Amino acid sequence: MQIECQNLTVGYDGRAILKDINFTVNRGDYLCIIGENGAGKTTLLRTLLGLQPPVSGKILFGDGLERKGCGYLPQQTVIQRDFPASVSEIVLSGCQNRCGLRPFYRKEEKEYAHKMLEKLGIAHLAEKCYRELSGGQQQRTLLARALCATQEMLFLDEPVSGLDPVATEEMYRLIEQINREDHITILMISHDIKAAVTYADHILEIGKQIFLGTAQEYEEYQSIKEGKESVR
C-alpha cells in the first residue's frame, strides 16, 4: 500500500467534518473521491498531504512513498488565474523538492520540466504568460507542474473546474493516460459522477454514508439506492 487511513477524522479547529474513515490506496490505483459540497473532500485531501493536521486517527505511508514525493493540483482561485509568470517558470517550480537546499535548478531539472511540457502538449506555450492562457491550458500547466513533483502519486482537486466540455474531456483523458501508461497513482476529487465511474477504478463517496469500492460496485450501489428511493 502507498497510503492507509486508519479511523481518520478530519476537520478544522478540532471540529470534525468527516469521522472515522478507513481506506487504503495501492500503487497504480485511480481513486475518485465524490460527495456533496461541505462533505469534507478537500479537507480530506489537504490532511493526506499534511497541509493541515488530522483531528484524530492515523495516516500511514508505504511502498517507498513520502508526502514530499506527491504532486498536488489544488483548486484555482481568481488571483491564481491572473498569476504573472511564464508557463515554463510555473512548471519548473514543481521541481523545487528535487533541489533540496540548493537555490537554483540544474540542467536535468529544466530538461525534465520541458519533458512534462511536451507530454501535456503545451511546449509551444513555454514562454507565454500564464494569465494569457485559456482555462484548459492553465490546467495543463498546473498538471505539468504537479508531474514535475512526482513519479508516484497525484492529488487532484476538481481538475476540470470551470473548463468547457471539450477541455474537460481532454483533461480526463490526460489524467487517465498518466495513470495507465506512467503507472502514477491518482487521487482525484470530482463532482462528476459519470466521469468518476468512467475513468476511475475505485470510488470513495463521503457524506451521510461512506461508500468505498470499485467503479462497477458503485454503479450497482447507486442502482440499489435509487430503487429504494423510488419505492418511497
| One-letter amino acid of 75 | Q
In this prediction, the residues of the chain whose per-residue pLDDT falls under 50 are none
pLDDT for 79 equals 65
CA 66, 63, 28, 202 dihedral sign is negative
Phi-psi region of 150 (alpha: psi -120 to 50; beta: other; left: phi over 0): beta
pLDDT for 171 equals 96
Look at the domain 1-65+155-162+190-232 and name its fold.
Rossmann fold (3.40.50)
pLDDT for 58 equals 97
pLDDT for 227 equals 72
Bridge-based pairing of strands 185-189 and 202-205 is unpaired
pLDDT for 180 equals 96
pLDDT for 101 equals 66
Other beta carbons less than 10 A from residue 185's beta carbon? 23
pLDDT for 92 equals 95
Per residue in 119-148, pLDDT (tens digit) is 999 999 999 999 999 999 999 999 999 999
pLDDT for 96 equals 87
Burial class (CB within 10 angstroms; exposed 0-12, middle 13-18, buried 19+) of 148: buried
Annotated domain spans of the chain: 1-65+155-162+190-232
